[in-house]
Structure 1
């Protein structure tokens, strides 16, 4: 049986859209629909679906919903399906999963399975990207917004540009250094075709560490253009290094994001590693 884990708060918050999605999900034969009402409920529903011997579990939401569901499925041989309806949909875009609802639904039913790598940040899983610095600050501001969607993500980005200051870190216990942002990429993009690591491969057993050195916010426009044109690696402000594990010394209670979801660091030491081919995904 297929189990759909649906987050009605993902993406554009329109009642008619939610009703239409639920109608289409309930029309799928031999399936069950779980509808979340609060954070982390997708994790609980995924565990319940496993108890009910689900054959496939499909996350219907954004990258945050995908993270909650996938984090449970790495312990199983049950494949993850994705129907992307979020603001960024980074993992779905990397995997070429259709953004059109009906096409993505068909893919979850009729697609084939592949294994993908899983990133770990202090043993918390991420499947697309994780990071500290500027992108984490944007995630924090976006999380405080009452509205979702790409336009509001742009607003959060512009707000962050006017107030953000570089952070100070140490890599593998080396000297302290200032960076604008530090991203760990399993997939190639944040979402919305913002390619932070254009050559990342979900099946190569490596993460890419993308370090951006401090820049003035007035010069950030060029970097943004390179981000969306898959050319950020050409910037002299950007260094990309393939890693299997690394240790970052930072601070506690500072902005952090996992797959775009805003968190705070719970330790001054951040341990990054990778678990190769630990998740089955339907593509």
Structure 2
């Protein structure tokens, strides 16, 4: 498939449990003559279309954090400008851009016409339990440990349950058989932690999990990622921590720490579940994270 216009709108028809597809006629009617709208059936078709766009074109993604994550490699490879119409279950990237809650048509007009600004991108490299090397990029979060186990559980949740309620449902389910991992964590060459941990997650945005203020100090254009590290917790302790995470008061807890970093290494003695922007990736024993400062030109407020 070849797409020639320098402004292209890509709608993920599977976003919001398939409800995003209903927007197609409305968005098509609102498009200017020099823009085109596509609804790729799968990731392969979407990536092919993105690679076919003229370098430096503007693409507007209609979807959520997972949609952005899956399409991000082609956006970066082709140096495309990115606009966002939030239509996902989490929308933490849209929150960081000041776009969450905008009506689709208003968001579309803004995404097509407003100026861009630089946004940092996270990069992850890891070895799976079989020793194979993997790489990924992300915009909002890269989770390791309990958070990623929660992401995996959300995939089996009721279809009618979305956003933060779905995340909370999965969290409570994962608490029923809580697991910790023995981790060695090093940031910017400085050793931070050795021992049991509930998770070691890294954020580019202030929120994750559909609006939870995990790292309020995070900024998308400061050239840094932000580690959120949770030490050992039992079921009751983790359950008691959940309301604090929802309100941003978790950072005062003695077993919760944060650290801004440019590079991070996490080594686990057992298989550690991983997820990027709410997309489950698999398991690792060795993980390295770094930041690509200002790698993406994105439309925000």
Give the TM-score normalised by the residue count of structure 2: 0.84
Which residue does the alignment assign to 2:140? Answer: 128
Does 2:119 correspond to 1:111? no
Aligned partner of 1:36 in structure 2 is 40
- How far does residue 280 in structure 1 lie from its aligned partner after superposition? 0.5
Measure the CA separation in 2 of the matches of 1:106 and 1:98: 15
Tell me the distance in 2 between the aligned counterparts of 1:40 and 1:164: 36
Deviation string, structure 1 residues 195-230 (Cα, Å, up to 9, x no partner): 111100111111111101122222334422222222
**Counterpart of 2:132?**
none
What is the aligned partner in structure 1 of residue 273 from structure 2?
255
Structure 2 spans left out of the alignment, 5+ residues = 1-5, 126-134
SS in 1 for 2:210: coil
For 1:47, the equivalent position in structure 2 comes to 51
Summarize the alignment of residues 19-34 of structure 1 with structure 2, pairs less than 5 Å apart: 19=22, 21-27=23-29, 28-29=31-32, 30-34=34-38
Partner-residue secondary structure (3-state), 1:219:
helix
1 CA distance for matches of 2:217 and 2:47?
A: 30
User: Which of 216, 220, 223 is the matching residue for 1:205?
Assistant: 223
Does structure 2 conserve the Cα–Cα contact (< 8 Å) formed by 1:91 and 1:191?
no
SS of match in other structure, 2:260: strand
Where do 1:96-245 residues align within 5 Å? 96-99=98-101, 100-122=103-125, 123-145=135-157, 147=159, 149-150=162-163, 151-172=165-186, 176-245=194-263
Are positions 1:90 and 2:92 aligned together?
Answer: yes
Are residues 1:269 and 2:286 paired? yes
Deviates more, 1:143-152 or 1:189-198: 143-152
Write out per-residue CA displacement over residues 106-162 of structure 1, whole angstroms, 9 at most, x where no aligned residue. Answer: 220232100011111114101101011111001111123462612333221211111
Question: What per-residue deviation string (whole Å, max 9, x for no partner) do you get for residues 179-208 of structure 1?
Answer: 111111111111422011110011111111
Structure 2: distance between partners of 1:248 and 1:96:
31
**Residue 251 of structure 1: CA displacement?**
5.7
Q: 1:40 to 1:126 in 2, by over 3 A?
A: farther
Once residues 42 and 186 of structure 1 are traced to their aligned partners in structure 2, the CA distance between those partners, rounded to angstroms, is: 24
Q: How many residues align?
A: 277
1:278 matched residue in structure 2: 295
Q: CA RMSD in A?
A: 2.2
Unaligned runs of 5+ in 1: none
Q: How many Å separate the matches in 1 of 2:230 and 2:275?
A: 16
The residue matched to 1:194 in structure 2 has which SS?
coil
State the distance in 1 between where 2:9 and 2:56 align: 10
Contact 2:124–2:289 (8 Å) recurs in 1: yes
The 3-state SS of whatever aligns with 2:77 is coil
Per the TM alignment, residue 167 of structure 1 is displaced from its structure 2 partner at its CA by 1.3
